[in-house]
Amino acid sequence: MSVFSHPEFDNHQHLSFVSDEETGLRAIVAVHNTNRGPALGGCRMFPYASDEAALRDVLRLSRGMTYKSALANLDLGGGKSVIIGDPRAHKSEALLEAMGRFLEQLGGLYIAAEDSGTSVADLQVMGRHTRHVAGVSARPGFDGRPSNGDPSPATAYGTFVGLKAAVAHQLGRSDLDGLTVAVQGIGNVGYRLAQLLSDAGAKLWVHDIHSDAVQRAVDELGAIAVAGDEILGLDVDVVAPCALGAVLNDKSIAGLQAKVVAGAANNQLELAHHDAALSQRGILYAPDFVINAGGIIDVCYERNGHDAEAVRRHVETIGDTLSEIFARATLSQQPTGIIANRLAEERFKPAQGKGARQVA
């Protein structure tokens, strides 16, 4: 299949395929749009089932970063990279250094940050060979704790703020005490979100592909562990997808009992029309590229002189942005994702006069 005719290709500005025989590195870098600034986005490592699956993911993710940064009012464009491989089995310093050397060749067109399957330490290894990595500097965290550059706390906090805004709009309640939430994915972001929810009095059901992560949530947060094929269909107030994307599809949407979907995962919709499918069922969807912007906000501030309190204030605007999107969607009787896309496109391509294109 030609890249230019790929269904996820959206006039991407740049696409690179990386191969290094000595280290086994196979990666793809996608830059979607740089109208607002350089393309900053995470470097994901995942054992994709095929090269096509990796390509589809990086095209979707990079496009989503353009929309995310625009809605977060950041002077950044959208980009993403994926390394094909199991991070628990195939990651090595040599592989990461090879990735760093390639990033340097791009000359700052794309700036890599932590993502699923990579860590701050991994980006620091890449940084031995490139200046174009972010989220790697030790600094005071916005939550008052020391931070090694990991943006996960900011992502989780922004998701928590956004979830509260969704609950207020859909359920008419300002507190989370007794709220029932199913969290799919208890990784760096999902676990921190679960902590915030637990501290606020919410009751939790959790699932993760790693049993140790689930057990930690059970032991430390009093969460209830459930099977992967059950987590999205539980009779709860909120479903919070915090793992990989495309989990909201024809089958899962038909089985949803929750009235709110608000989670940190990227590209939660399998296809664009699933936004409307949620709306038709009376389920409020917090567009993922809005609610999970805390991490990119944190990383942006690191690059431009970190101020922990300024980061917190900026992350908390996620709730305001979502409230505006929900209100506009209700008034226009249109899905929330369509409204969010329209707002973003006004910001990163104001002169083009194009209609909104759904980010799935």
Q: Which residues are catalytic?
A: 80
d(CA 271, CA 275): 8
- Within 10 angstroms of residue 52's Cβ, the number of other Cβ atoms is 11
Dihedrals φ, ψ of 25, to 5°?
A: -65, 130
CB 132 within 8 A of CB 104: yes
Torsion 241-197-290-123 (CA) sign: negative
CB 304 within 8 A of CB 137: no
Angle, vertex CA 169, rays to CA 166 and CA 174, nearest 5: 85
**Across the strands, what pairs with 140?**
146
* Closest alpha carbon to 261 in 198, 209, 337: 337
DSSP letter, residue 134 = -
What's the half-sphere exposure (Cβ side, CA atoms, 13 Å) at 292?
A: 30
d(CA 311, CA 13): 29
